Amino acid sequence: MSRRAAKKIVMWIVFLIAAGMLFFFLTRPGSRKSPGIYSENQVETTEIAAELNFGSYSGEDWEGWLLEESGPYLTKSGLRSLLEKLGLTDYIAIPQGVGMRVSRAQWNEIYGQILDYVDMEAQVSRETFLVLDTMEGSEQNVLITNQGDYDTRLPLTYFEVWAAYEIYEREGECLGIASVSDGEEAVANVYLKEASEDGITFLYGGASYRKELTAAVENVAPGVCDVIIREREIVALRLKQEAITGGLLSYDEETIEIEAYGKIAHTGDIPVYQTYGEAVEKSLSDVILGNMEVEYITGDGEVCAILIRQPASIENIRVLLLAGGEKFRQEVFLKSDAEMQLTCGDTKETIPAGTVVNAADYTSGDGEAAQKTLVLSCEENAGVIYICGADGTPVSAGYAGRMEVRRCEEGYTLVNELPLEQYLAAVVPSEMPSSYAPEALKAQAVCARSYAYIQLLRADLAKYGAHIDDSTSYQVYNKTGATEESRAAVYDTAGQVLTYRGEVIEAYYFSTSMGYTDTAEIWNVENDGTYGYLKAACLNARACEGDLSVEEDFRAYISSPAEGYDSDIKYYRWFAAADYRDKEETLSRILAERHAVSPQNICYYKKDGKTEEESPEKLGKLTGLTAKERSASGCLLTLQLDYENGMVLVKTEYNIRKILGALVEKIVYADASESADITLLPSAFCAIIPEEDGTLLLQGGGYGHGLGMSQNAANGMAKAGMTYDEILQYFYKDVTIENMGSTESK
């Protein structure tokens, strides 16, 4: 072999060795050619920018500046420039050692020191979670973990499913990764659907997961457990078998009250699993108060999961009885015209008829005594219970069912639980006079039952142990006791509800129309089909003409006589004098209150009508009010308040009625009778007519929101020979009358 050939071979050997070494370094764990993969040996400048993007040091230029100073990865020189920019070079030392790039461990140490100096409010913390899934987003990605969901600006290629990470977190955002964790992480309180030698399937956080096993699992039945994972492998399944069975009476942020057991603490966000049929995850709102026997899985003295073993049987409703509109009472005295059974914790007594029970005698004291619920009940149909004074004088109508008294910091709450049909018998006469035609009362019963059914499923007042209260916020209950006529209407329609597209509807109703009803447009809700059953109906004897969204047409209509199903009611037409002068302070208070409830319906603008203001304070003096927009049925959709320096747009019939109601002293009805001390205009179906003296004439009609069934028109229809189902079909679009027993709770 020639010397030249030997030299060539040596050069090739050197080249191959160098190429091999380069391949080794580029493919060893933690190394890569391009950004986007987690590494222990280096930290991307994009991740650094995310970790520094907070507090007084936030800014959109972090990433660009870091890339310019350091390139895609943080270097020692880039770190030095970073500390100079933060003014911390005299306080934080640059790590020594071989290599230009800063390792993750080195950065963690530096970042911790940076936070000590600049994160004065301790916004950033270190958390550990297990990644269960990831979702790509347009602006931020989402990490679904055993500790909840986290937003992150990091690429999803940084994370592996079933791997655990220690991260830097701020307000639910994963800013960066400190390290990959090799410790155990628990996916707590999952519902194990299936376990075999191939793997397990479980429900958690609204999703179903499948995870393979490295070791066989034997005799593991479906149930609640903790799945323990370490280094991406399942190392244990910790089954939870302690349970309590009973009806759910109330719940709040800290405790759950179980019938015949009392209150017990819970873990917070309690998972709920339906186990009959196909096992699925539900929510706590699906556990229907007082109508469902469920199983509570416990651990360490807390409820950690709930199992729904069978469908609800809708039989009872739980009503919070208000005291002068307030939820809490400072004292509670009860008595019955029959013998009562009393329970309070371990105390059980028989109370003779007519004996006054003072709630304070059983719930006084601190700690455990204050947690007890006092329950009073009579034998079915044996008697009723009265709210009374200390001397036994009744201050209420009699209540069927049982009474529950709970002691709270603010006072006592009083809940009446009774069969739904008995409840309706005391709702119908409280909402509609029993003297009305039988078919109208039946229509009212079906509407009231439908509305109550929806509220049963929602249980807005669960923290008080109730589904609803007894006021107009839901349905007026027992302000007029059950009558023979109301019982007949409820009995004749027993179990019947209105459904739309297979779902029970909120069958809204109101007192009196002005000749038309309206759609959910007057509540400024999105047209998603939810309220598709609320239609605009004409109730006049003469065929309806025109589109009342035109101001001139509405004024002509509302000022002319008309005959219809409820035109004989005094509320059919009314008028009022309104004076807006020097009312800025009153209106500002109302606007602020309503803006806090629904800001999209109270909008403040400068003079140009486009630039938004935060409040009406800078708008100056109120100069006038204008009907800016109406529905086709004539209801005011937008009221414009004109100021010296701008305007306010008010939407929804309630807000408009509230604003205009503050400007009037009395309402004069069609029969010349009057109502004073007005806080809410009778309806938003009104014209606003300027007067020469600077005041306004409000000329309107109807009483109530104008959606669904007009109760007085229903009575007129019944007198005209229409049946209750014909009445309901007239007011509601594409609805079906079904038996409640055939509907399923969703």
Q: What is the pLDDT of residues 695-720, one digit of tens each?
A: 999 999 999 999 999 999 999 999 99
b vs e for 319-356, b when ≥16 Cβ sit within 10 Å of the residue's Cβ? bbbbbeeebbbeebbbbbeeebebbbeeeeeebeeeeb
Asked whether residue 322 falls in the same domain as residue 442, the answer is yes
542: left (phi > 0), else alpha (psi -120 to 50), else beta?
beta
Asked whether residue 520 falls in the same domain as residue 653, the answer is no
Asked whether residue 352 falls in the same domain as residue 475, the answer is yes
Three-state SS annotation for 583-604: CHHHHHHHHHHHHHHCHHHEEE
> Which of 194, 217, 239 delimits the end of a domain?
239
Asked whether residue 476 falls in the same domain as residue 327, the answer is yes
Asked whether residue 482 falls in the same domain as residue 518, the answer is no
Asked whether residue 334 falls in the same domain as residue 425, the answer is yes
Answer yes or no: is 272 within a domain: yes
> Which of 666, 684, 700 delimits the end of a domain?
700
b vs e for 452-482, b when ≥16 Cβ sit within 10 Å of the residue's Cβ? bbbbbbebebbbbbbbbbbeeebbbbbebbb
Answer yes or no: is 401 within a domain: yes
Answer yes or no: is 155 within a domain: no
Asked whether residue 419 falls in the same domain as residue 334, the answer is yes
The string of pLDDT tens digits covering residues 269-325 is 899 999 998 999 998 888 988 888 899 999 888 999 999 999 888 899 999 999 999
Answer yes or no: is 600 within a domain: yes
> Which of 69, 99, 122 delimits the end of a domain?
122
- Which among 508, 539, 531, 514 is positioned nearest to 630, based on CA atoms? 514
Please tell me the predicted confidence (pLDDT) of residue 181: 94
CA distance 414 to 214: 56
Answer yes or no: is 143 within a domain: no
Asked whether residue 484 falls in the same domain as residue 511, the answer is no
Which alpha helices (DSSP H) does 28-103 contain, by range? Answer: 45-52, 62-70, 76-86
Range of the domain at 229: 185-239
Please tell me the predicted confidence (pLDDT) of residue 541: 80
Strands 696-700, 602-606: pairing kind: unpaired
Answer yes or no: is 146 within a domain: no
- What total number of domains does the chain contain? 6
Asked whether residue 429 falls in the same domain as residue 519, the answer is no
Q: Which parts of the chain sit beneath pLDDT 70?
A: 1-35, 54-61, 97-99, 216-219, 365-371, 528, 543, 545-546, 741-746
Asked whether residue 563 falls in the same domain as residue 521, the answer is no
Please tell me the predicted confidence (pLDDT) of residue 404: 96
Enter the pTM of the model: 0.80
Answer yes or no: is 476 within a domain: yes
Asked whether residue 326 falls in the same domain as residue 378, the answer is yes
Please tell me the predicted confidence (pLDDT) of residue 687: 96
Q: What is the maximal distance between C-alpha atoms in the chain? A: 127
Full DSSP string of 45-64: HHHHHHHH-SGGG--TTHHH
Answer yes or no: is 150 within a domain: no
Please tell me the predicted confidence (pLDDT) of residue 312: 85
Asked whether residue 99 falls in the same domain as residue 197, the answer is no
Element (H, E) at 672: none
Please tell me the predicted confidence (pLDDT) of residue 24: 40
